[in-house]
Structure 1
Amino acid sequence: MDETKSERSGSGLIAAQNCPEQLADETALDAFRQHNSVALVEFYTNNCGICQSMEPVIGTVAQALNLSVGLLNPRDDPTLVNRFQIQRIPLLVLFVDGDPVGRRDDGFVSGNELTEWLREKTDRQL
C-alpha cells in the first residue's frame, strides 16, 4: 500500500476542517475544484523531499486562511500531466470558482510568500 501524503502528516499543524483532501484521480480533482469556491491543489510524488517539506507550510496557511487544499499524485497519468503541463513538482495550482487562476512550481516557498501569492491571485483577503 502506498503511503499517502496525508498519512505522513504528523505535524499537528493542520486543523481537522482544513486537512488536505487526498484526491485519487482527475475525476476527484474536478469535483473538488467545483465544490470549493477557492481551492489550492498540490501535485506531488511520494518520494519528493520538497513536497514533504511544503506539507506543514501548506497546512499552516490553509488553517490560517480557511482554505481548502487537495493533494494529488499524478503518478503516470499522462492525461493529467498534459492537462496541467506538469514538468516539476511540487506544483501548486490555485482554483477560484473552479477555474485555475495561478500556479507555482518553483520549489519550496515560505508561509508568508505562499500567503501573499494566494491573496494576490484571489484579489481579496483570504
Structure 2
Amino acid sequence: MSSTPSFDPDQPPERPVDLADSEALDSLVETYPRVLVEFYTDGCGICASMEPILGGLARSGVVVGTINPRNDPPLIDQFDIASVPTFVLFVDGEPVDRLSDGFVPSEELQDFATT
C-alpha cells in the first residue's frame, strides 16, 4: 500500500486527483465537503473520453478524484461497481448519489456534482 496522501482543505485541487487505493479515497472525501469520484478502468474508451470533462469540472471548483478499483479490489464490492465509468458523489465523507450510465455530458455532470 502507498502512503496516504494529505490534502489541504483550504486549497482544493484544480485538477482531478488520481487515487491509488481506498486510503487515498478516504483521505480525499474526508478533507472536502463535496467530492465527485470516477471509478474507471484502463482501456475504457468512455472513461478516457470523460477526462477533459473531469478536468473542466476540477478547474471550475468541483473536487474530483479518479480511481481504478482493480488496483484495490474490495472497492468493487464496497461501491457496487458493475460498470465503468461509475461516478459517486460524496458529501461530508459519505456516498450520497451515483451515476453509471456511460458517457455523461459536461453540464449534466456539473449539475450532478453541485446540486
TM-score by length of 2: 0.83
Cα RMSD for the two superposed structures: 1.6
Aligned residue in 2 for 1:42: 38
- 1:70 to 2:65 alignment: yes
Q: Which runs of 5+ in 1 are unaligned?
A: 1-16, 121-126
Percent identity over the alignment is: 48
Q: Could you report, residue by residue, the CA deviation over 1:76-121 in whole angstroms, capped at 9, with x for unpaired residues?
A: 643110000000000111111101111111000111111122233x
Question: Number of residues paired by the alignment?
Answer: 104
Structure 1 distance, partners of 2:78, 2:67, is: 14
Structure 2 distance, partners of 1:92, 1:45, is: 13
Aligned residue in 1 for 2:74: 79
TM-score by length of 1: 0.76
Please give the secondary structure, in 2, of the residue aligned with 1:87. Answer: coil
Aligned residue in 1 for 2:19: 23
Q: Which runs of 5+ in 2 are unaligned?
A: 1-12
Given candidates 101, 105, 113, the residue that maps to 1:110 is 105
